[in-house]
Amino acid sequence: MTTHFIENDLIKLTVAEHGAEIRSLIRKADGAELMWQADSNFWGRTAPVLFPLVGNYFEKKSVYEGQTYEMGQHGFARDMEFDLVSQSDNELYFELKESEESLKKYPFKFVLGIGYKLDGAKVTVSWTVKNVNTKTMYFSIGGHPAFNCDLDTYTLRFEKKGQPNDCVKANIIAADGSGCLSTKQEHHPLDNGILKMSDELFSQDALIFEDQQSDAVTLIDDKGKDVLKVTCPTPLFGVWSPVGKHAPFVCIEPWFGRCDRVGFNQKLEEREYGNTLAPNEIFNTSYDIVVY
């Protein structure tokens, strides 16, 4: 696996060409590795980029212009080789374009850019999507970074505009194995924004937080110290750890898009939280990982 790194006095970031995926984020003050190291006994990834799908299509299928396309969970970008377009002392930029294989799953040509930039103890992750078709393009994109932690003793703090949330509402994945959204919703009252984690919290897969309830989620260690913060300037985000594995990590996931609801009609242009681009239009956004 070909990787590239950038570093400064505070942090070192390593990114693979495969999936343009973060593989390591080291805090230099104590040498701590903050990213999950893809142990397949729990989950064999670290921080995949989700494109052009976040979550699952209902029955793994989408319908566009009368044709049915099949695509697995979270799309295909995470399993493809990106080109390293540029590298400087504090920045990496990768690019991916459609292929014959991708067009069988997803009926659009595209240019997907993934950037990583260091600024002190902050990593800015940028996403750029360009529609190079002569028709409207439909897509989702999201992050899935996994951070080392002990579920029993670490906590999460939810914030909106710098203030802790009093409560968050999580939509729940259906128990039918479809990987799609149920009608169930859980309310989690918070003490100063704090949510305690456990295996039970993730017993029904990911927690999905819609409607921009929070714009930042902070991981806090067993001593009450902030470890890192993920900004979520996105319509929704997910929090996940593998069901029933007591895995030593949690994923904090900013999303532009999510899985379909159970029973959705599969029409690509009618997906909830979907994104559209006119011909030659460009979508740009970013989120931050701030290390403490």
* pLDDT recorded at residue 175: 87
Apex 165 CA angle, 163 and 171, nearest 5:
145
Contact 149, 249 (CB under 8 A): yes
Cross-strand pairs, 251: 146, 240
**186-220 residues labelled b (16+ CB within 10 A) or e (exposed):** eeeebeebebebeeebbebbbbbbbeebbbbbbbb
Question: What was the pLDDT predicted at 111?
Answer: 99
| Domain extent listing, the chain | 3-291
Q: Measure the CA–CA gap between 260 and 138, rounded to whole angstroms.
A: 14
pLDDT value of residue 150: 98
Question: pLDDT 10s per residue in the chain (292 long)?
Answer: 999 999 999 999 999 999 999 999 999 999 999 999 999 999 999 999 999 999 999 999 999 999 999 999 999 999 999 999 999 999 999 999 999 999 999 999 999 999 999 999 999 999 999 999 999 999 999 999 999 999 999 999 999 999 999 999 999 999 888 999 999 999 999 999 999 999 999 999 999 999 999 999 999 999 999 999 999 899 999 999 999 999 999 999 999 999 999 999 999 999 999 999 999 999 999 999 999 9
The answer to whether the beta carbons of residues 50 and 96 sit under 8 Å apart is no
| Cα 12 from Cα 63, distance rounded (Å) | 43
The span from the CA of 99 to the CA of 81, in Å, is 11
Could you tell me the fold of the domain covering 3-291?
Beta-galactosidase; Chain A, domain 5 (2.70.98)
Q: Which of 262, 279, 290, 276 is nearest to 141 (CA)?
A: 276
